[in-house]
Amino acid sequence: MILVFGKTGQVAMELQRIGGVVALGREDVDLLDPKACAAAIREHAPKAVINAAAYTAVDRAEDEEHLATVINGEAPAAMAKACAELGIPLVHISTDYVFNGKGNTPYRLEDVTEPQNAYGRSKLVGEIGVRESGAVYAILRTSWVVSALGANFVKTMLRLSETRDALNVVADQIGGPTPARDIAKACLQIVNQLIQDTTKSGTYHFSGAPDVSWADFATEIFAQAGRTMTVTPIPTAEYPTPAKRPLNSRMDCCSTEQIFGIKRPNWQDGLKEILKDLEVIS
């Protein structure tokens, strides 16, 4: 049995759809209590753990950095220590926000981390805690997660298209939209390989291809959904948010393919499946 932290997040829900996991939600374990997270692992005694739970309210984290750091930093560290004690692997989902978001080339694993907002800092604390735990682990950094479940950019664009015929969308932030279903599949492949080969322990990148701007992503959403919408590209400076957003979310995912045989998923194909799930297209 694989134990999953998270129940209502996009990746956690996709893991449950695939099956073969036991998912723990807020009613089962309090992520603000790292000791409880460790205790849950010891109690269930799984063959592996996937942490798909996180504090993901990026803007709110600017005012709640302590809470974000407990959930995204201290809890994963406690999970990893428990996994080390039991001799089982952990897959922990992280983010491109641990980088500074500058430049225009894909971030490599060896690039320096320099988060620019509270959310990114909290996720980096989690990465450090997992690495220092002594556990066999895979930290899987991903970006721009979308699915038919939960709240995300695809569903926001579709909702706005119900009442508008034109939108301004940021065009100078570039990254790889990543279907949650593909992340879930990758997590399961990785964790099963870690069980067989602990030398694969380490940090990896996984995002959808090709890299694209939010404006171009929105344009493709409307095109596939068959909805008429004028998308006007705007710079980030014209769409201010409490938390600074990275302009560059590109990630080099070569190691994930080389070590685990997992290629970057085509997000356009994933988008089609999402729209089918939402019954927007048949």
Write the pLDDT tens digit of every residue in 124-149. Answer: 999 999 999 999 999 999 999 999 99
Cα pseudo-dihedral 247, 186, 272, 216, rounded to 10: 10
CATH superfamily of 2-277: NAD(P)-binding Rossmann-like Domain (3.40.50.720)
pTM of the model: 0.97
pLDDT tens-place string over residues 219-240: 999 999 999 999 999 999 999 9
Share of the chain above pLDDT 70, in %: 100
Calculate the CA 85 to chain-centre distance: 26
Choice among 55, 107, 119, 204 that is catalytic: 119
Mean pLDDT of the chain: 97
SS3 labels along the chain: CEEEECCCCHHHHHHHHHCCEEEECCCCCCCCCHHHHHHHHHHHCCCEEEECCCCCCCCHHHCCHHHHHHHHHHHHHHHHHHHHHHCCCEEEEEEHHHCCCCCCCCECCCCCCCCCCHHHHHHHHHHHHHHCCCCCEEEEEECCEECCCCCCHHHHHHHHCCCCCEEEEECCCEECCEEHHHHHHHHHHHHHHHHHCHHHCEEEECCCECCEEHHHHHHHHHHHHCCCCEEEEECHHHCCCCCCCCCEECECCHHHHHHHCCCCCEHHHHHHHHHHHCCCCC
pLDDT tens-place string over residues 9-68: 999 999 999 999 999 999 999 999 999 999 999 999 999 999 999 999 999 999 999 999
Q: What is the largest CA-CA distance in the chain?
A: 56
On the question of pLDDT at 273 being above 90, the answer is: yes
Note if 55 is an active site residue. Answer: no
pLDDT tens-place string over residues 76-89: 999 999 999 999 99
Q: Taking a C-beta distance cutoff of 8 angstroms, is the pair 34, 15 a contact?
A: no
pLDDT tens-place string over residues 196-216: 999 999 999 999 999 999 999
Distances in Å between the alpha carbon of 184 and those of 21, 127, 253? 11, 19, 16
The one-letter amino acid at 217: F
pLDDT, position 282: 82
Q: Taking a C-beta distance cutoff of 8 angstroms, is the pair 69, 125 a contact?
A: yes
What's the mean pLDDT in 116-120?
Answer: 98
Residue 263, both tokens: 């290629």
On the question of pLDDT at 194 being above 90, the answer is: yes
